[in-house]
């Protein structure tokens, strides 16, 4: 029998496996049909499916709102400012010279396609250097990055 100390690791492992299985199950819906050639625009139905997939990846897998959405006075995510940028509410256990203090707005996604793909596929920020912790350096598949960008662009941009 596993000790109670192993429980967090086993829970994380099972969630990772479940998320991977869900992503793999959805991959077929993103592949072009025989009448669709690479580089052609997606139909409205395909675009909506891509946005829904991006919604799932952003909110259920990567959990972007946890850092990119401000919190209210109770510490809950402020849904009226969904993905509109926030102060980073966590700090490292040990002092780190490189630590982001603010998470940028993602709603409306103001970055161009290449910048978005660099962030999501290579972990390279818009300034050409690796993203700073606590942001994860993702190495997503191209189709997943495009779905995330489509979802973020479908959201109401942050009010400045």
Query: Is position 123 within any domain?
Result: yes
| Residue 34 counted as domain residue | no
Q: What is the mean pLDDT of the chain?
A: 80
> Does the residue 69 lie in any domain?
yes
**Which residues lie closer than 8 Å to 69 by C-beta, 6 or more apart?**
77, 78, 79, 81, 82, 83, 84, 86
Q: How many domains does the chain have?
A: 1
Q: What is the model's pTM?
A: 0.70
Mean pLDDT of 2-23: 46
Q: Which domain holds residue 143?
A: 14-26+43-92+99-153
DSSP state of 74: T
Q: Residue 62 is encoded by which pair of tokens?
A: 């990567």
33 lies in a domain? Answer: no
Is 36 domain-assigned?
Answer: no
pLDDT in tens, 33-81: 333 445 556 678 899 999 999 999 999 999 999 999 999 999 999 999 9
Structural domain contains residue 113: yes
Does 1 fall in a domain? Answer: no
Q: Please report whether residue 8 resides in a domain.
A: no
């Amino acid at each position: 029998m596993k000790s109670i100390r192993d429980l967090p690791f086993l829970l994380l492992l099972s969630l990772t496996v479940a998320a991977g299985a869900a992503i793999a199950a959805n991959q077929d819906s993103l592949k072009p049909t025989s009448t669709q050639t690479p580089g052609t625009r997606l139909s409205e139905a395909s675009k909506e499916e891509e946005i829904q997939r991006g919604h799932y990846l952003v909110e259920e897998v990567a959990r972007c709102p946890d850092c990119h959405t401000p919190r209210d006075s109770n510490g809950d995510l402020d849904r009226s400012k969904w993905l509109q940028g926030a102060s980073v509410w966590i700090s490292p256990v040990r002092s780190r010279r490189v630590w982001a203090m603010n998470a940028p707005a993602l709603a409306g996604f103001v970055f161009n396609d290449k910048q978005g793909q660099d962030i999501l596929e290579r972990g390279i920020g818009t300034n050409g250097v690796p993203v700073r912790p606590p942001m994860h350096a993702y190495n997503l598949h191209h189709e997943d990055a495009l779905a995330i960008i489509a979802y973020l662009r479908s959201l109401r941009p942050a009010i400045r």
